[in-house]
Amino acid sequence: MDPKSSAAPTLPAPADREFVVTRDFDAPRDLVWRAWTEADRLMRWFGPKGFAMHVAEMDLRPGGAFHYGLRSPNGQEMWGKWVFREIAPPERLAFLASFADEAGNTIRAPFSAEWPLELLSTVTFDERDGRTTLTMRSVPVNATEAERRTFEAGFKSMQAGWGGTLDQLDAHLAEGDPR
């Protein structure tokens, strides 16, 4: 797997063109941070409902990558990767997110030829009174206008998808810290 990122991101899209999801968790920030940055923990919750992560390789450093494979209930495989840009424990994580092949090469989304190849995603973790507010912002990088329109048209679907994924994170966090 080549952890090198593609070309430097272009300037972020205006705020009205970015995807934002926010969720409060009844868990300390350190635990939520570890759920996002440790492969064994990500394997327990990350992905669409019903999918299981069967491969997870983590190189948590700027320029490093998280490469993962998901399997649907009917056995279909899907791969993705995050190439880390910024790691500021336990407050902020920024990465380029993309679909990938088994070798870790960036590929087009299986559902749309006009989905952006890469999204710059920034996740912040804010703690107050033992609870954590997670906010994720994503914008396409190096995208055509058609790719940006496709991305924006997907906001409602992405809200639903991330809602289910974050429900799984919430359940994972409710189990406590096994370590």
Residue 73 and residue 49 in contact, taking contact as beta carbons nearer than 8 Å: no
Domain 15-174: assigned CATH number:
3.30.530.20
Give the percent of the chain with pLDDT over 70: 90
The answer on pLDDT for 112 being more than 80 is: yes
Q: Where are the domains of the chain?
A: 15-174
Q: What is the pLDDT of residue 1?
A: 44
Q: What is the pLDDT of residue 178?
A: 64
- According to DSSP, the residues that pair with 80 across neighbouring strands are 68, 99
SS3 of the chain: helix, strand, coil, percent, to 5: 25, 35, 35
Sort 68 into a burial class: Cβ within 10 Å, 0-12 / 13-18 / 19+. Answer: buried
CA distances from 139 to 31, 113, 127 (A): 26, 17, 24
Distance CA 160, CA 162 (A): 6
Residue 97 and residue 119 in contact, taking contact as beta carbons nearer than 8 Å: yes
Q: What is the pLDDT of residue 16?
A: 56
